Amino acid sequence: MGTIKDRYAIVGVGESERSRKSGTTPLHLALDAANAAIKDAGLKATDIDGFMNYNEGDSCTSHQLATYLGVRPKYVKDIQGGGASTEMLIADAAALIEAGQLNTVLIYRSLNGSSGTRVGRGYDPDMLQGALAGGSFVIPYGSASPSQWFGMYAMRHMHETGTTKEHLGHVCLSFYEHAQRNPKAFLHGKPLTMENYLATPDISSPFNIHDSCLELDEGNALIVTSAENAKNCTSRPVYIMGMSARQCHPHAHYWNDIDQVASDYVAKELYENAGVTPEDIDVAAIYDCFSWVVLRQLEAYGFAKRGEAGEFVAQGNLKMGGKLPTNTAGGMLSEGYTHGMNNAIEIVRQLRHDYEGTDRQVEHCKIGICTGWAGPDIAGAMILRN
């Protein structure tokens, strides 16, 4: 994807209300998000000729969304997927535009993740054994929640590097602090102290409730088009400098190798394509389904050496004014949770300087990174600029 540098842009972003009980369907939430993104871009719905969605069997289809926007699209695509799907679909959109198939693509993620189908629980055990690679070697032992799966990775990593529970807490505290400046964050008005964090009992060691992402009802959308088309939009375009759409390490055997993660493979291609280094990044959106996942990615993407991510975070570097302000709307730990798209939306807003003149703006930021993590085995990421 090296050749696409600076030739594609995100020109619109939008989200629905977020809540524990929307009282409505993912289609309604998707329409709210899509309309907000279209308005943000200064486009008409009929300017969009491609619609893409990722879901876990918990959403409406792209075809439905397009229909109720009054659009007869040239192209619809719905993929099964969680984290890193935002990056992959943006790459797919750029490729289809590059190939002359489409002009402008709307990508969305919408779910009733609290009141409807929940990601982290409620599966039929026999279905899970079949659906999960090697599931019969995991499910009979009571391991069915991402908190338990990633906890296994985290405990080993902490053992090897000396990363501590307090370090995990600093990730949470940093993002909760951002949520207190974001009135739309779900945990706005619910600040977190280290004392409270450490006093909260674990759900799956080393994680307590604060280390885990929120499950909410929410829709998000963003619009991708060419740099040329972006001139017709009223928003300030945010250009894609480089991507590594989706890389994998051995799927079925990831229980047997909990030391490597797919993000390790993504970083090299990503920086090569973008032509920048970690030192050039001003603002970050790091996939944060769990606090530890942030620490491990800080290592993978070169922001801290192995074993030093905990100290990097403890020094306040993820906060406003730190070296790498990260998940500045509160992230999935405290703003909302759409498998990464809410973090992608925030980095676009930061790079557009939408918050200029407030304490939420990362001053003078030019280049941002957005990472996706679909578990240890799949990751994708992009680097954006204004």
Distance in Å, CB of 280 to another protein, minimum: 35
Q: Write down the residue that tokens 């969605």 correspond to.
A: 53
The single residue among 19, 145, 164, 386 that binds another protein, judged by CB under 8 A, is 145
Residue 128, judged by CB atoms within 10 A of its CB (0-12, 13-18, 19+), counts as middle
Comparison of 50 and 310: residue with beta carbon closer to another protein: 310
DSSP 8-state code for residue 212: B
**Per CB under 8 A, does 148 bind another protein?**
yes
* Residue 155 touching another protein (CB under 8 A): yes
Q: Which is nearer to another protein, 19 or 148 (CB)?
A: 148
Footprint on residues 229-268 left by another protein (CB under 8 A): 250, 252-253, 255-256, 258
Of the candidates 202, 228, 272, 363, which one interacts with another protein according to CB under 8 A? 202
Please tell me whether residue 121 binds another protein under the rule CB under 8 A: yes
Interface with another protein includes 201 (CB under 8 A)?
yes
Check if the beta carbon of residue 347 is closer than 8 Å to that of residue 285.
Answer: yes
Query: 189 exposed, middle or buried (CB, 10 Å; 0-12, 13-18, 19+)?
Result: exposed
The DSSP string of 74-106 is SEEEEEE--TTHHHHHHHHHHHHHHTTS-SEEE
User: CB of residue 56 vs another protein: minimum separation in angstroms?
Assistant: 16
| Neighbour count for residue 199 (Cβ, 10 Å) | 9
CA–CA gap between residue 368 and residue 281 (Å, rounded): 5
Of 382, 64, 105, the C-alpha closest to 244 is: 382
For residues 163-186, one letter each, b for 16 or more C-beta atoms within 10 angstroms of the residue's C-beta and e for the rest, the string is bebebbbbbbbbbbbbbbbbeebb
Q: Does 161 bind another protein (CB under 8 A)?
A: no
Q: How many beta carbons lie within 10 A of that of residue 117, not counting itself? A: 17
Spatial distance between the Cα atoms of 146 and 159, rounded to a whole number of angstroms: 20
Is residue 103 near another protein by the rule CB under 8 A?
no
Q: Which is nearer to another protein, 100 or 201 (CB)?
A: 201
Amino acid identity for residue 335 in this structure: E
- Of residues 85 and 161, the one with the C-beta less far from another protein: 161
Rounded to a whole number of angstroms, the minimum distance from the CB of residue 306 to another protein is 17
Considering the rule CB under 8 A, would residue 153 count as an interface residue with another protein? Answer: yes
Q: Is residue 143 within the footprint of another protein (CB under 8 A)? A: yes
Q: Which is nearer to another protein, 197 or 271 (CB)?
A: 197
Residue nearer to another protein on the CB measure, 103 or 145: 145
* Part of the chain binding another protein (CB under 8 A), chosen from 2-10, 15-23, 104-112, 144-152: 144-152
Q: Assess whether 287 carries a catalytic annotation.
A: yes
Alpha-carbon gap, residue 376 to 385, rounded angstroms? 27
* Closest to 99 in 3D by CA, of 75, 118, 79: 75
Any catalytic annotation for residue 265? no
Residue 382 binding another protein, by CB under 8 A: no
Question: 123 to 142, contacts with another protein by CB under 8 A?
Answer: 125-126, 128-130, 133-142
Q: Which residue numbers are catalytic?
A: 287, 337
- Interface residues with another protein (CB under 8 A) are 120-121, 125-126, 128-130, 133-145, 147-148, 151-153, 155-156, 159, 201-206, 250, 252-253, 255-256, 258
